[in-house]
Each structure stands twice: as C-alpha cells, then as structure tokens.
Chain A
Amino acid sequence: MRKVLCVFSVILLLLAGCLPKSYIETLGIISAVGYDLTEGERIRGTLVMFQFDPAETSTSQVVTAEAETSKGVRFATGRLTSHELVSGQVRLEIFENELAERGMMKYMDTLQRDATISDMGYLATSEVPTERLLKSKNDEDQPNTGDYIQELIKKSIKNESIPSALLTTFMHDVYDVGKDPILPLLSLENDKTVINGVSLFQDDRLVQTVSQDLMFYIMLMTHEFEHGQFQIQLEDEALKKYHKKESIETPAEGPLHVSVHELSTKPKIRPTKGEPTKQSLSLEMEGRLLEITQDIDLKNKNAVKTLEKEMEKKVTEHLNETLKILKENAIDPVGFGAKYNAHNRSNRVTRENWREQIQDLQVKFDVSFTLLRYGISE
C-alpha cells in the first residue's frame, strides 16, 4: 500500500510539469486595448502592454495591427513582439465612435466569451482614433497612456462626475429591456487624453454624444449622488431683492452663478399604471453652497428660500431639455421603460415597441432642493 502511494505521489509530482507554464519575462500583459475602424471596413487594434524584461528599459509598449475580429487583432500583433500576449489584465477597452456606431456587441463578443478577461474592466468611446489616444505621450507619470486613461476614468467615477463605465454595468444595461447604456467619451486636447462628455447608446449602437453639462442631468435622473458637485446659472434678476445693502448701490455685474458641493440626491421614478409613456420623477437634492457670484444676504431666510426655489426651477428646466434630447434620439439611458416593466404586468414594454414609444414619453419632474450650509462667509 505504502509503495503504491509513493509511486502515485512521484507520478503526480512529475505530471504537474505537464501543465503549460507562463514565465512573466516572456509575457506581454495587455492592459489596455483600443479599436478603430479603417477604410477597408477592418478593425485596427492598438494594444498597450506591460513587459517585465530586465533587459528592457521601458516597461510598456504599444503595438497596432489590423484584422477582421478583435481576437484576430491580438493574433496579428503577435508578429510585432517577442512577448507572448495575454489578456488576463485587460482593464480598459476603448472604441472609436465610428466603430461604436455600428454596434459594439459584435466586437465585444470576446470580452464576454473569453473567461480570462475580467468583468471589472472599463469601457469608453473615443472621438479621435484610439491609436492616437493610446500613443499620445502625455500620461502624467503613469507607466503608459492606457494606465493614465484607466486612472482618469476610475477617479471620475469615484468623484461621481461620470456614470459607471464598468464592462459588467454596460453588459447589464445592454441586455436589460427598456434601458440603454452610457459610456464616457474620450478626446485629445493638446496631445493629452481627456474626458469630453458621454456617448449615448441605442442598445449597443452609439447614436449621440453629449457634453459634460448634459451628462450631469442624465446622471441626476439615474444616479444617487452622495458627494457630487455642480454649477448652475440662475436668472440674473432672480435674487435682486436680497442683495446686500452695500452692493445695491453698486450692483454686481454679470450673470448669477451658483456652485454646489457635497450634493446628495434621491431620484424616484413613478410610472403610471398601464401607460409606459406617462411617468413622473421626483428628485430630492441636498447640497452645500460653496460659491455664488453675486453678493446675496444669506442670513435672510427668505433669500435662501428664494435661492432654493430658483435652483429647483432651473434644474427642472435643464432636466426637460435633457429629456428632449433623449426623446429626439429615441434613447432611454435612465431606464424609464425598465422601471415601467418592473411595476406592470400588462401592456409591457419590449425592446422593439419601446423604441417607438420613447418619442411620446412624458415625464413630470418634481425637484426639491435644500441648501444645508453655505461655507464660512455670510
């Protein structure tokens, strides 16, 4: 018995060597990938990879190749480097807008199918070819531009200045009926990658890109802020009554801007029974005033109240404008359709009929704003 066991354990030990080994010096660990559309309807992929070769001075390398599929890109890049490319550490995938407009799922199939790829990677779209983006040299001392972009997105999500861009969130939103995904939009400014707004999708097809300001109002509807911030311009004359005495003689010039920090919000969507196009959205906002461009007497309770009222009015206005853009493009990143489905058994929204109904969507906004504090000056 003991002899048999001994033989067994020796065999097991030796057989363990049959498994394929990966030495880190021989690997090119892909950390970011960018896909562009070329003229010939092919994909041009740009891979940012780490290499841990003691002989080499730079730890990362960027390679580009063209192919028909995204895995084909990886295969084609194989002849450009002596390292074996592995995709277990891909944390950023950028798609050029032209490519995203054709539907991302067919290019993302491998992200879902290949088990080695993490679900916690970030997705983004880009106005400029991703090759230029990933090859731009300005990366703020990060090991490479891929890492810089990834940190940029990560920080912005944490600061609640862009919605979640995780692969798992995107997949979830694509597959949910009555909800469309959003992704951050990247661009180049002075040869440096910046976030330039968000791209809005119809299912997996990019249809519209919007600015940072509009994105905030989309996020107001979808996202529960905990410590966000925003700026808003109010009517110049709205708070004239409450200007401080000294400044009445010399009224402040220019428009009235208010900046709010530590913003926390609670959006609540209430669909009407049986009518998917009639919904109401109540939004409770709380925040701390940190900057105001006119001299307002904030000791006066009525002044604060008027300020809150004005802000509610303005926010509602912006929300309506945002909704108009969403309706024009027949997109629903907020998930009004999904919300309706969650509460109704009959007349349910499907992928097909919701697209047509979005144009008739009517949302009644009910915004309430509370100013908690206003800094250390009065």
Chain B
Amino acid sequence: MKTNVRFAPDQSVQAFYLFFIIHTSQIGAGLMGIPRILVLESGVDAWIAVLIAGVYLHFIAFIMLQILKSYDNADILGIQCDLFGTWIGKALGMVYVIYIFQLLLTVLKNYIEVVQVFVFPEMPIWLMAFFLLTLMIYSILGGFRVVVGTSVVFFFLTIWLVFTIYKPVTHMDWEHFTPIMQTSAGDLLRGAQQVTFTALGMEILLFVYPYIQDKKRVAVPTHAGVFFTTFLLLLVMVVSIGYFSPDQLTQLVWATLSLFKIISFSILERFDFIAVALWMMVIIPNIVLFGWMIVHSLQRLFNFSKKPTLYILACCLFISSVTAEKRVTVNELTTLTGKIGFWIVFVYPVFIYLIILLKKRMKKRNAP
C-alpha cells in the first residue's frame, strides 16, 4: 500500500473546509445528553471539565497535525503501514474501521431513540434507519466533495439553533455556579474524559489530510473547528447548569433538548419538536462523514471497490440498528464506544507521534 497518495484538484478541497469537516463530525448525538453525564461526574463545576477537555482537544489536534506533517501527503492508514509494516498496519487500520462503524451505529441509534421518545413513539426503527442510511448512501455516492459539501450546508442550516438558547438564559440561576471549584481534581478529570465522547470524530483529520490542497494553511481551520466545538459544549453546559437544578439535571437524559422545551412562539408553541427534527441535520454530516471514512479506508486497505462496500456497509448498519431495540443496549453501546474512542482518538495519536519521533532520531543516527 502506498503511504503517500495524490488526488486530482477536482477531488480535493481547500484547507478552510477542515473547519466544517472537523466541527460537524464532532458535534452530533453526544451533545444532546452531555449535561447529565458531565454533571454526574463533576457536579456544578462541569463547565471547568469542558475547558480542560477543550485544552486537551487542541493538544490532540496539534499532535495529529504534527504526525501528518512528518509525511508528504499521507493518511493514518498509510502511516500505520509505514511504521509497523503492511500486516500490522492493515490490522490497525481495521481497528479504526470497526471503531468508526461502532461510532456511526451509536449516533444512528441515539438519534432514532430521541425521535421515538420525543415525536413518534410508534415509529418503527427500521423506517428511520432506512431514511437516514438512504441519505448517507446518496451523498457518499457523490464523492468526497459532496460529503464535505453536506457538512458545510448542514452546518449553516443548524447553527442558528444556538440563538434560541437565549430563552433558557433568561431563566438562569447564576448562584448554581458559586462557589466554584467544589469538585475534586479527579472528578474534574473524569468529567473531562466524558466530554471526549461528545468530541469524538476529530480523527477524521487523519483521514482527509491527503485531500487538502493547501497543506500550509491546515492548522488554523483545524484549531478553529475544535475551538468552536468546545465553545458550543461550554455554552450548553453553562446554560443547562444555570437553568436546571443540579439534582434535576442528573435525571434528564437529554437535557439539551429539554432546554428547547420552554421556547415557544405564538405561531409555534412547541419548539422542542422542531428542534428534535432539526437535530437530524446535525447528525447527517456525522453519518455521512463517518460512512465515507469507512468506505474510503476499506478501499485504501484492501482495494475494495467503493460502491459494493457502501451498500454492504449500509446493510450492516441497518441490520445492527434494527436488532438492538431497548434503551439499555443503546446506553451500553454508547458507553463502550466512548471508552474505545477515548483510547483510539485521544491517546493513540500521541503514541504514534512518539514512534515517528523515535524513527526520525534512528534515521539521523544511522545516517553518517
């Protein structure tokens, strides 16, 4: 397998699209439930945990960029094969593929569940899964540029939801925050680790890098995307701690969606229904980007042709999303994905970077 790959300019995109790619792949189903998970770990100081996680996200983004910069035009699959040899490299590539499959399934299942709880309790899972997967197939068939375009369009179609948060802000009780730093450092770190499930998806940087035209300008959009994700998480966290009582927050599974429950206009009394429906636009870029990653990786690793892989992938997702029915399984899946994702996305790149550094030093020593 070739380590470095080249793409024609009509297949690649400008560097600033990285902002949308990274941001939309990070924000997804996790944002809906993050307040409760975080408050369970870090109490009312959960917003500090978000800040800690934010700093770490930037660090990982930096490490990822360093890894990619030490090669000419490679993605993580090529780099792994270069570092560990073809066999181990391909095996590690498969680990990525399986993990992303699981992540994709988690996003899908969580969203379908939300729709069932909020809007259509009687709606069968297979129907919703079918709709979403059709959209996924449709945009991945369009190629990489359509995939990126999807994330850009849906970013702008949903970002205005942020402004509707003004209403809960008016009901906030700022005294929930004082006195700050009641939580122990350990709990804060555990909270920060929980944030990472929500911020999973930034590993896409390791896959799309060869597709970027102007490599020199990669750093700014990457960090901007990560920063914007952190900002949104922080905003949601601060507002939900202020709006809900801390004890109440531990009871609400999707606190972010519950925030929308008090918004109403005279022509639209229950905005939360709109918000749940719109959330589909938040998760479609997720599904499309992750699906593209799987298909692309399988092609890179084993030279599978794209179309059959895509259809098989959709079938696998469809079957696995229909078979897991109960809430508990979704929870278990989510927790498991979060744990695996933490190691793969937030620890493993550091390890790779260290090996690259080691290799460079060896080369220097060996060269006269």
* Interface positions of A (Cβ within 8 A of B): 1, 5, 8, 12, 15, 18-20, 88-89, 112, 115-116, 118-120, 168, 171-177, 338-339, 342-345
For B179, the chain A residues whose CB sits under 8 A away are 342-345
Pick from B74-82, B193-201, B244-252 the stretch touching chain A: B244-252
Decide yes or no whether B130 CB sits under 8 A from chain A. yes
For B182, the chain A residues whose CB sits under 8 A away are 345
Contact pick for A172, options B123, B173, B251, B269, CB 8 Å: B173
A175 touches B130 (CB 8 A): no
Decide yes or no whether B10 CB sits under 8 A from chain A. no
For A345, the chain B residues whose CB sits under 8 A away are 179, 182
The answer for the CA separation of A343 and B138 in the assembled complex, in Å, is: 56
Chain B nearest CB from A213 CB (Å) reads: 28
A115 touches B117 (CB 8 A): yes
Given contacts A19-B120, A115-B117, A342-B179, contact A8 B138 (CB under 8 A): yes
Contact pick for B131, options A5, A12, A172, CB 8 Å: A12
Segment 226-257 of B: residues with Cβ below 8 Å from A: 243-248, 251
Residues of B within 8 A of A (CB-CB), count: 33
| CB nearest to A91 among chain B residues | B269
Contact pick for B244, options A118, A172, A339, CB 8 Å: A172
| CB nearest to B141 among chain A residues | A1
For A168, the chain B residues whose CB sits under 8 A away are 171, 261-262
B interface, over-half SS: helix
Decide yes or no whether B316 CB sits under 8 A from chain A. no
Chain A nearest CB from B146 CB (Å) reads: 13
| CB nearest to B128 among chain A residues | A19
For A89, the chain B residues whose CB sits under 8 A away are 269
Chain A nearest CB from B345 CB (Å) reads: 31
B270 touches A88 (CB 8 A): yes
The answer for the CA separation of A72 and B117 in the assembled complex, in Å, is: 19
B175 touches A339 (CB 8 A): yes
B261 touches A12 (CB 8 A): no
Given contacts A12-B134, A342-B175, A345-B182, contact A175 B123 (CB under 8 A): no
Chain B nearest CB from A73 CB (Å) reads: 19
For A173, the chain B residues whose CB sits under 8 A away are 245
B118 touches A120 (CB 8 A): no
Segment 32-56 of B: residues with Cβ below 8 Å from A: none
B245 touches A175 (CB 8 A): yes
Chain A nearest CB from B124 CB (Å) reads: 7
For B261, the chain A residues whose CB sits under 8 A away are 118-120, 168
Decide yes or no whether B73 CB sits under 8 A from chain A. no
Given contacts A118-B261, A176-B245, A345-B179, contact A15 B130 (CB under 8 A): yes
Extra pairs beyond A12-B134, A175-B244 (17, CB < 8 Å):
A5-B138, A8-B134, A15-B131, A18-B123, A18-B124, A20-B122, A115-B118, A116-B118, A120-B262, A168-B171, A172-B243, A173-B245, A174-B248, A175-B247, A176-B247, A342-B176, A342-B178
The answer for the CA separation of A19 and B128 in the assembled complex, in Å, is: 10
| CB nearest to A89 among chain B residues | B269
Decide yes or no whether B264 CB sits under 8 A from chain A. yes
B120 touches A119 (CB 8 A): no
B130 touches A119 (CB 8 A): no
For A171, the chain B residues whose CB sits under 8 A away are 245, 248
Chain A nearest CB from B192 CB (Å) reads: 22
Decide yes or no whether B12 CB sits under 8 A from chain A. no
B258 touches A172 (CB 8 A): no
The answer for the CA separation of A174 and B122 in the assembled complex, in Å, is: 33
The answer for the CA separation of A112 and B245 in the assembled complex, in Å, is: 14
For A19, the chain B residues whose CB sits under 8 A away are 120, 123, 127
B138 touches A120 (CB 8 A): no
For A112, the chain B residues whose CB sits under 8 A away are 251
| CB nearest to B250 among chain A residues | A175
For B127, the chain A residues whose CB sits under 8 A away are 15, 18-19
B134 touches A120 (CB 8 A): no
| CB nearest to A112 among chain B residues | B251
The answer for the CA separation of A24 and B130 in the assembled complex, in Å, is: 28
| CB nearest to B122 among chain A residues | A20
A120 touches B173 (CB 8 A): no
For A172, the chain B residues whose CB sits under 8 A away are 173, 243-245, 248
| CB nearest to A345 among chain B residues | B179
B123 touches A20 (CB 8 A): yes
For B138, the chain A residues whose CB sits under 8 A away are 5, 8
Given contacts A19-B120, A120-B262, A168-B262, contact A175 B270 (CB under 8 A): no
For B258, the chain A residues whose CB sits under 8 A away are 119
For A118, the chain B residues whose CB sits under 8 A away are 261, 264, 269-270
B262 touches A343 (CB 8 A): no
Chain A nearest CB from B338 CB (Å) reads: 24
For B173, the chain A residues whose CB sits under 8 A away are 172, 176
For A176, the chain B residues whose CB sits under 8 A away are 173, 245, 247
| CB nearest to B114 among chain A residues | A115
Chain B nearest CB from A80 CB (Å) reads: 23
Contact pick for A175, options B118, B248, B272, CB 8 Å: B248
| CB nearest to B182 among chain A residues | A345
For A116, the chain B residues whose CB sits under 8 A away are 118
For A12, the chain B residues whose CB sits under 8 A away are 131, 134
For B245, the chain A residues whose CB sits under 8 A away are 171-176
Chain B nearest CB from A257 CB (Å) reads: 37
| CB nearest to B173 among chain A residues | A172
Segment 331-364 of B: residues with Cβ below 8 Å from A: none
| CB nearest to B260 among chain A residues | A119
Chain A nearest CB from B169 CB (Å) reads: 14
| CB nearest to A339 among chain B residues | B175
Segment 163-190 of B: residues with Cβ below 8 Å from A: 171, 173, 175-176, 178-179, 182
The answer for the CA separation of A265 and B284 in the assembled complex, in Å, is: 50
Segment 109-140 of B: residues with Cβ below 8 Å from A: 117-118, 120, 122-124, 127, 130-131, 134, 138
For B176, the chain A residues whose CB sits under 8 A away are 342
The answer for the CA separation of A174 and B173 in the assembled complex, in Å, is: 14
For B243, the chain A residues whose CB sits under 8 A away are 172
B264 touches A338 (CB 8 A): no
Given contacts A88-B270, A119-B261, A168-B171, contact A20 B120 (CB under 8 A): yes
For B117, the chain A residues whose CB sits under 8 A away are 115
For B120, the chain A residues whose CB sits under 8 A away are 19-20
For B244, the chain A residues whose CB sits under 8 A away are 172, 175
| CB nearest to A335 among chain B residues | B175
| CB nearest to B124 among chain A residues | A18
Which 6 A-B pairs give the minimum distances between C-beta atoms?
A: A175-B245, A175-B248, A342-B175, A119-B261, A175-B247, A115-B118
